[in-house]
Amino acid sequence: MTMIKAQHLAVSYGHGDTALKVVKDVSFEAQKGETFGLVGESGCGKSTILGALAGRNKQWTGSIEIEGETIGQKRTRAQLAKQQLVFQDPFGSIHPRHTIGRTLLEPLEIHGKDRRQERIEKVLTDVGLPLKFRYRYPHQLSGGQRQRVAIARALILEPKILLLDEPTSALDVSIQAEILNLLKDLREREKLTYILVSHDLAVVAHLCDRVAIMQSGGFVEIATRQQLLENTVEHPYTRILMDGSRGYVSEKRERNSAALPA
């Protein structure tokens, strides 16, 4: 079943003569339970696509279908609740003066949900945090715990889709592993569909089934996980990004090894 279907999606910022087209005519779809990746360098439009899917950015053209339902620029609450965002920086995305319980309560109030305390307890358990954390403030939590709170806040409305914007790039390697494992578990348990934005192809290959590689607002290639792992991607730009996630490639060493007979 197709969960997300975007066709000829274009997104712009600004009006009139100064309007800037950031995403230019991209089409993709994601099946239920699938993780679709968006990879590219800063400014290529990957987060803007997430913004348009989430309903944050309303200046888009083309068509978006969520769960078979065509979405317009204006959405109902129920339509907005279907997809939720998780941001990159857990230090900047949670209100510093609200307790975790208060932060988790807010979406429930906005969407007029019942059984609020029960829902907060369930979602904290789901992301692997102790229940007493609802009385804590963000500064009393580590980076990994905060990112769990951000995921809990996204899950509390029982969405079908999570839009993940670089969910682990602000975290240490060992904490990144915990969050990636959690995301994998949640996807299976809750039958979620993910759109994952990242600049690290190793993270993307770990979680995603298919990946769109973006450059200046368009897709250069849609590669499968298999292609990434077997190193059979087609576009040279994808190869550059893959080399990047492996580390530094010395030009001298390359020149030397090219000159030497193997």
Restricting to residues 86-145, name those near other proteins by CB under 8 A. 143
Asked if residue 196 binds other proteins (CB under 8 A), the reply is no
- Looking at the Cβ atoms of 177 and 222, the one nearer to other proteins is 177
Q: How many CB atoms lie within 10 A of CB 199?
A: 18
Separation of alpha carbons 203 and 81, rounded Å: 27
Candidate segments 74-82, 100-108, 127-135, 199-207, binder of other proteins by CB under 8 A: 199-207
Asked if residue 201 binds other proteins (CB under 8 A), the reply is yes
- In the sheet that holds 83-86, the strands lie side by side as 83-86, 161-165, 193-198, 35-39, 210-215, 218-224
Restricting to residues 136-175, name those near other proteins by CB under 8 A. 143, 172-174
Least distance in angstroms from the C-beta of 245 to other proteins: 6
Separation of alpha carbons 163 and 143, rounded Å: 19
Asked if residue 228 binds other proteins (CB under 8 A), the reply is yes
One of 134, 148, 199, 210 touching other proteins (CB under 8 A): 199
Separation of alpha carbons 252 and 124, rounded Å: 51
Least distance in angstroms from the C-beta of 20 to other proteins: 17
Asked if residue 178 binds other proteins (CB under 8 A), the reply is yes
204 touches 237 (CB < 8 A)? no
One of 69, 114, 251, 261 touching other proteins (CB under 8 A): 251
Asked if residue 234 binds other proteins (CB under 8 A), the reply is no
166 touches 50 (CB < 8 A)? no
Asked if residue 42 binds other proteins (CB under 8 A), the reply is yes
One of 206, 212, 214, 217 touching other proteins (CB under 8 A): 206
Residue given tokens 């298999």 in the structure block: 226
Burial of 123 (0-12, 13-18, 19+ CB in 10 A): buried
Taking Cα atoms as reference points, which of 201, 194, 259, 198 lies closest to residue 235? 201
- Looking at the Cβ atoms of 247 and 261, the one nearer to other proteins is 247
E strand residue ranges, the chain: 2-13, 20-31, 35-39, 60-66, 69-71, 83-86, 161-165, 193-198, 210-215, 218-224
- Looking at the Cβ atoms of 83 and 198, the one nearer to other proteins is 198
Asked if residue 19 binds other proteins (CB under 8 A), the reply is no
Asked if residue 221 binds other proteins (CB under 8 A), the reply is no
Asked if residue 203 binds other proteins (CB under 8 A), the reply is yes
Asked if residue 186 binds other proteins (CB under 8 A), the reply is no
Q: How many CB atoms lie within 10 A of CB 184?
A: 14
Asked if residue 68 binds other proteins (CB under 8 A), the reply is no
Say what the alpha-carbon torsion angle 210, 213, 217, 219 is, to the nearest 10 degrees: -70
Q: Which positions lie near other proteins, rule CB under 8 A?
A: 41-42, 143, 172-174, 176-178, 180-181, 184, 199, 201-203, 205-206, 228-229, 231, 240-252
